[in-house]
Amino acid sequence: VILVTTKKAKKGDGFHVNYNNNFGFQSSINRPEQADGLEWMQAYLDGEFNAGKYYTGQDIKTWMNYLTEYRKNPGKFQTTGDGVYVDPETGLNYYLNEKDLYANMLDDYGFLQAHNVSLSGGTDKLAYRLSLGYNSEQGILITDKDRYKRLSGSAYISAEITSWLTQSVDIRYAQSDKNMPVTSDKTGLYDMRLPVVYPEGSLTLPDGTSLMTNTPSNVLRMATDNNTIRDNARILSKTVLKPLKGLEVAFEYTFDKTWSNQNVNKASIDYTTVELAKIQTATTSSLETTHQSTDYNAINLYANYRYSWNDTHNLSLMGGFNQESSDWKKLYT
């Protein structure tokens, strides 16, 4: 969480330049711990699923014997890829390499940084402030497809033009750029149902084609981009008039515009599962674009009159007018 606070300059204050920065790192915590291969296979047997056979045909007890021996002497087995052992009698694949599929989709850490610089000052009748900010966040997933950055700027000036007229303007602008991975239509990114022996990397199909499997890290490598750029511009103008003693009239105008562009790129990429069938991440490749904008306008006009006499009587009158409008548009292609 990055918190940035700003203060308006004071009249008569000298010229100041301020700069600050923050650097940090983020990583995942409280990750679920997967059962090891033998624990998973024993649970499969205890549940009496499919008469002791995995849904792709492997005999669970045979698999447990292979894995127990593989732990003791992995060189005894002629494996390919990620611990794939082909049973000489049945021709079925037995997967023997244990790994943390969940941890394999995560980077060691994501780098965070924030920079803020401001200039402020003033005279007896003038106050001003300029500021710029930049934030950048790298996510904790491999491939760096989860990232965020934000650039912001603001300018404020207040001037006592005459003894009865004061004008101030506050202008702010910010742009954010957020990117997230677009995964397969058929499998989830945070897929925890896969056992620790599920093969990473690639598998060879019966026709000889080698395709990546649907583990979380592979899904990330095949993922495309969901990118959203959001802009926000705001102007606040305030005019204060004091034409008569005790009378103060204020006029405020606010303009706030927000617009965003989201582009979702879906690519049709071939991959496989332990069923050794060819699957596509999407039926067809596509590019989805969503444009949204909101224009907000507000007017506030109010006056306050105060009058006192004989040091004991006070009169105060207030009146005002307010008008707001908002226009929202959305275009999806």
CA distance from start to end of the chain: 34
Whether the per-residue pLDDT at 12 is higher than 90: the answer is no
Residues 6 or more apart whose CB falls under 8 angstroms from that of 298 comprise: 252, 253, 254, 322, 323, 324, 325
- Give the pLDDT confidence score for residue 301 in this predicted structure: 97
- Give the pLDDT confidence score for residue 4 in this predicted structure: 43
- Give the pLDDT confidence score for residue 211 in this predicted structure: 97
| Residue ranges of domains in the chain | 16-21+100-332, 35-98
Closest CA to 114 of 220, 20, 213, 6: 20
- Asked if residues 203 and 84 have their Cβ atoms less than 8 Å apart, the reply is yes
Q: What is the b/e burial string over 196-213, where b = at least 16 CB atoms within 10 angstroms of the residue's CB? A: bbbbbbbbeeeeeeebbb
| Over residues 309-317, mean pLDDT | 85
Report pTM: 0.83
Whether the per-residue pLDDT at 292 is higher than 70: the answer is yes
Question: Rounded to an integer, what distance in angstroms lies between the CA atom of residue 205 and that of residue 256?
Answer: 57
Closest CA to 191 of 218, 210, 212: 218
Between residues 108 and 94, the one the model is more confident about = 94
Q: What is the b/e burial string over 311-321, where b = at least 16 CB atoms within 10 angstroms of the residue's CB? A: eeeeeeeeeee
| Over residues 283-288, mean pLDDT | 91
Whether the per-residue pLDDT at 7 is higher than 60: the answer is no
pLDDT-derived band of residue 49, with 50, 70 and 90 as boundaries? confident
Largest distance between two CA atoms of the chain:
112
Between residues 264 and 310, the one the model is more confident about = 264
Taking all residues of the chain, what is their mean pLDDT, rounded to a whole number? 92
Whether the per-residue pLDDT at 291 is higher than 70: the answer is yes
Question: Rounded to an integer, what distance in angstroms lies between the CA atom of residue 222 and that of residue 202?
Answer: 13
pLDDT-derived band of residue 13, with 50, 70 and 90 as boundaries? low
Question: Rounded to an integer, what distance in angstroms lies between the CA atom of residue 254 and that of residue 123?
Answer: 26
Whether the per-residue pLDDT at 5 is higher than 50: the answer is no
Question: Rounded to an integer, what distance in angstroms lies between the CA atom of residue 242 and that of residue 14?
Answer: 28
| Over residues 199-203, mean pLDDT | 94
| Over residues 79-101, mean pLDDT | 96
Whether the per-residue pLDDT at 78 is higher than 90: the answer is yes
Whether the per-residue pLDDT at 178 is higher than 80: the answer is yes
- Asked if residues 134 and 176 have their Cβ atoms less than 8 Å apart, the reply is no
Q: How far is CA 62 from CA 39, 54, 89, 119, 221, in A?
A: 14, 11, 12, 73, 33
- Give the pLDDT confidence score for residue 64 in this predicted structure: 98
| Over residues 23-50, mean pLDDT | 92
- Asked if residues 248 and 166 have their Cβ atoms less than 8 Å apart, the reply is no
Q: Which amino acid is residue 71, in one-letter code?
A: R
